[in-house]
């Protein structure tokens, strides 16, 4: 059983992420924008490394926000948001490298994608990274060598069908 968390904490974190990225988007490629992207990347890295409950934003949620909004009606698994924060980390690190290296267009696209995911999470609680996870899995295993297990199962099913007739 993995760790259980208050889903509203994730929405709060996503709202903070959205705010940071909006300001970043309006100030890049200036130093403030680049600094904000670096801060956000560090927050994502903390989530991935230590867990979504051990970030500074999560501490603010626990000590300031939750006492005002009461206990949650239900808890959620911590693994999906942690995975999504990893996706966010990839985008923000890409953006950081792009802006520092002068590839501004790449940087804007990367920040935009991270912001889309954060806004959808903050507004309707959607975990975009989690949905992409299955799609990537589907794509990756279209290569023939990864189809071994289904093929074996198919063979077994055929065998069973034969033995029943």
Partner 1 sequence: MTTGQWVLLAVVLFVVGFAVYRVATDGHFRGTRRVRGSSEGTSAGTPGVPPAETAASVLAGSGVDVPLGERATLLQFSSAFCAPCRATRRVLGEVAELVPGVTHVEVDAEHHLQVVRDLRVLRTPTTLILDPHGQEVSRAAGLPKRDQVLAALERLS
Q: Which residues bind partner 1 (CB under 8 A)?
A: 7, 22, 25-28, 33, 74, 76-77, 79-81, 83-84, 104, 108, 111-112, 115-116, 119-120, 123-127, 129-131, 133-135, 137-138, 141-142, 146-147, 149-150, 153-154, 156-158
141 within 8 A of 147, measured Cβ to Cβ = yes
Q: Nearest distance from residue 84's CB to partner 1, in Å?
A: 8
- CB of 40: closest distance to partner 1 in angstroms? 15
Q: What is the DSSP letter of 64?
A: I
- State the DSSP H helix or E strand holding residue 110, giving kind and residue range, or none if neither: helix 104-124
Min. distance of Cβ 2 from partner 1 in angstroms? 9
The smaller minimum CB distance to partner 1, of residues 64 and 148, is found at 148
Q: Which is nearer to partner 1, 68 or 162 (CB)?
A: 162
Q: 8: which residues sit within 8 A by CB, 6+ positions away?
A: 61, 65, 66, 69, 72
158-165, long-range: CB within 8 Å, 24+ apart, which pairs?
none
Nearer to partner 1, 46 or 121 (CB): 121
Residue 109 Cβ, how far from partner 1 at the closest point, in Å?
A: 8
Q: How far is the CB of 126 from partner 1 (least distance, A)?
A: 6
Distance CA 14, CA 102 (A): 28
Q: Closer to partner 1 at the Cβ: 30 or 64? A: 30
DSSP line for 122-137: HHH---HHHHHHHHHH
Pick the closer one to partner 1 by CB: 68 or 139: 139
| β-sheet bridge partners, residue 5 | 76
Give how far Cα 101 sits from Cα of 105, 107, 163, Å. Answer: 11, 10, 64
């Amino acid at each position: 059983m993995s760790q259980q968390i208050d889903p509203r904490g994730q929405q709060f974190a996503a709202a903070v992420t959205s705010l940071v990225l909006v300001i970043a988007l309006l100030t890049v490629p200036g130093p403030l924008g680049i600094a904000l992207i670096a801060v956000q990347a560090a927050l994502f890295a903390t989530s991935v490394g230590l867990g979504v409950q051990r970030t500074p934003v999560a501490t603010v949620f626990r000590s300031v926000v939750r006492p005002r909004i009461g206990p949650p009606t239900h808890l959620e698994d911590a693994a999906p948001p942690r995975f999504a924060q990893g996706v966010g980390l990839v985008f923000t690190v890409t953006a950081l490298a792009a802006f520092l290296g002068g590839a501004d267009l790449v940087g804007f696209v990367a920040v935009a994608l991270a912001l889309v995911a954060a806004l959808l999470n903050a507004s309707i609680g959607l975990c975009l990274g989690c949905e992409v996870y299955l799609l990537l899995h589907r794509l990756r295993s279209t290569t023939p060598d990864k189809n071994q297990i289904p093929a074996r199962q198919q063979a077994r099913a055929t065998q069973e069908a034969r033995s029943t007739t």
